[in-house]
Amino acid sequence: MTDQANRHRPVKALQAAAVVDAACRIVERDGLAGLTLRPLADELGVSVSVLTNRYGSRDGVVSAVCAAARERDALLLDEWRALLAQVGLPTPSLAAELSEALLDDLGTRGRPLSLLFLELLHASGGDDTLRAAFLPWARERGALWDSLATDVLPPALRAWWNGYMLAELAYGLVLNPLPAYRMLRRLCLRRLFAGGTAAAQPEDARLFEPVVERLRGGDGGRIATYRADDAVAARVARACGIRLAAEGVGALTHRAVALDVGIPHTTLSYRFPTQHDLVLAGLEHIVAHVLAAVDAGSLADTERLRTQDDGRKLDLARASLAVAIAAVRMPELIPHTAHMRSRRGSNLAKVLRKYLPDATGIDPLCVQVVSMGLTGLTNAEPPGEAADQAVAAAFAATARWLVETP
């Protein structure tokens, strides 16, 4: 189609609904990195100049997508607000059921928007412009999630609860078809609203281990993208893993990774021809380190595994969410995502044993619940001191909650 023809194309082709639908299709297929001007124009059946005339740069397009997606999401959220207004302040057991139903709705009827939401969340950690466009949408979803926990969870746990819902939403988009996952999610929510510790619902603790074993399946395997004895490829995988965890797929450019590793751009392109190859290498590094960390014998071992030879650290919480988001369009990652979801909290258990040696009722289900909230909260804030302080405050609040729960 020529530019002349596009100039006479009806304006309705660029209405907000059409732009959001096209953006969601691209993100599901190629991730947020694929949401550039040319693919979006192709999806809409217009020329790139039509998009630039209306929105300007790619940043303008993504900002418009955020605003339109938020407006559409409000329709679904309004249905839930109306239901909660009828119900009134929920009891703990009802809050657990409502949270489960909301997560299911956001992951099925609201799946395209939820995937876009999570991709934007992950990428906005390293992009201030994107974060400014995304935050109003994030706050609206967060406000609805808060309403489920009003008078059920202490106010100090609200940020942690928002993180819990973020993390569970990410896992649910991938794992919801698995009965073991849905059962585990229900167990976690029941325990969360019952007070966290095992005292309130000891029968759930008996069900926890068989459920996670079923979800875990095999040993998690490994993503075979390079030979373990290939030193250059291992350095590339490490650099990709760190970038992927911190900034998302968009940060995995050949030029940036080549600079990180200290090899010529042409050499990297020959060994890893496409961005998809870089993504797989980074994910292999992440999976290997997440599983090694939860199996580590001590906190010192865990810290050693996180720290790279050059002093940079792999953020395991961001890395875990990166794998879950990627698994939506890369089915080969589903077993790894299920394995990591089943192991949530294994590493945190060491921390809680150290800082709360006299606390009772902190069983594996309790620790998994706490870990999910901290994981999501880590991803809700840009990397840096503010995120570290938010997570530290949330950890202290959950520790007090666990100790004070009858």
Taking residues 279-283, report their average pLDDT. 83
pLDDT digits (tens, 9 = 90+) for 146-158: 999 988 899 999 9
176 DSSP assignment:
T
Confidence category of residue 24, pLDDT binned at 50, 70, 90:
very high
Whether 275 shows a pLDDT value over 90: the answer reads no
Question: Hey, what's the torsion of the CAs at 330, 332, 336, 338, to 10 degrees?
Answer: 80
Decide which of 35 and 276 is more confident: 35
Taking residues 158-171, report their average pLDDT. 96
| pTM across the whole model | 0.85
Q: What is the separation, in whole angstroms, between the first and last Cα of the chain?
A: 69
Whether 88 shows a pLDDT value over 90: the answer reads no
Q: Phi and psi of 313, rounded to 5°?
A: -115, 140
Percent of the chain residues topping a pLDDT of 70: 87
Which residues contact residue 6 at a Cβ distance below 8 angstroms, ignoring those fewer than 6 apart? 46, 47, 49, 50
What distance in Å separates the CA atoms of residue 237 and residue 227, rounded to the nearest whole number?
11
Q: What is the pLDDT of residue 227?
A: 57
Q: What is the pLDDT of residue 251?
A: 80
Q: What is the pLDDT of residue 113?
A: 96
Domain-wise residue ranges, the chain: 3-59
- Helix then strand then coil, in percent of the chain rounded to 5, is 75, 0, 25
What distance in Å separates the CA atoms of residue 56 and residue 120, rounded to the nearest whole number?
19
Cβ–Cβ under 8 Å, residues 20 and 69: yes
Q: Which two tokens mark 170?
A: 């990410």
Cβ–Cβ under 8 Å, residues 53 and 1: no
Taking residues 205-220, report their average pLDDT. 82
Confidence category of residue 86, pLDDT binned at 50, 70, 90:
very high
Confidence category of residue 211, pLDDT binned at 50, 70, 90:
very high
Mean pLDDT lowest for which of 175-179, 190-194, 205-209, 313-317?
313-317
Mean pLDDT lowest for which of 44-58, 170-184, 215-229, 356-370?
215-229
Whether 309 shows a pLDDT value over 80: the answer reads no
Which residues contact residue 109 at a Cβ distance below 8 angstroms, ignoring those fewer than 6 apart? 76
Q: What is the pLDDT of residue 13?
A: 47
Q: Taking Cα atoms as reference points, which of 401, 365, 395 lies closest to residue 378?
A: 395
pLDDT digits (tens, 9 = 90+) for 318-360: 888 888 898 898 888 888 889 889 988 877 877 887 888 777 7
Whether 165 shows a pLDDT value over 50: the answer reads yes
Whether 394 shows a pLDDT value over 80: the answer reads yes
- 276 burial class (0-12, 13-18, 19+ CB within 10 angstroms)? middle
Q: What is the pLDDT of residue 295?
A: 64
Whether 12 shows a pLDDT value over 50: the answer reads no
Q: What is the pLDDT of residue 320?
A: 83
Confidence category of residue 226, pLDDT binned at 50, 70, 90:
low
pLDDT digits (tens, 9 = 90+) for 233-270: 888 988 888 888 877 777 888 999 999 999 998 999 99
Given CATH 1.10.10, say whether it is the number of domain 3-59: yes
Q: What is the pLDDT of residue 305?
A: 47
Whether 299 shows a pLDDT value over 50: the answer reads no
Q: What is the pLDDT of residue 225?
A: 55
Confidence category of residue 9, pLDDT binned at 50, 70, 90:
very low
pLDDT digits (tens, 9 = 90+) for 93-137: 999 999 999 999 999 999 999 999 999 998 888 788 999 999 999
Q: What is the pLDDT of residue 185?
A: 97
Say how many C-beta atoms besides its own lie within 10 A of residue 218's C-beta.
8
Whether 219 shows a pLDDT value over 70: the answer reads no
Which residues contact residue 30 at a Cβ distance below 8 angstroms, ignoring those fewer than 6 apart? 39, 329
Q: Taking Cα atoms as reference points, which of 165, 135, 136, 134 lies closest to residue 148?
A: 165
Confidence category of residue 381, pLDDT binned at 50, 70, 90:
confident
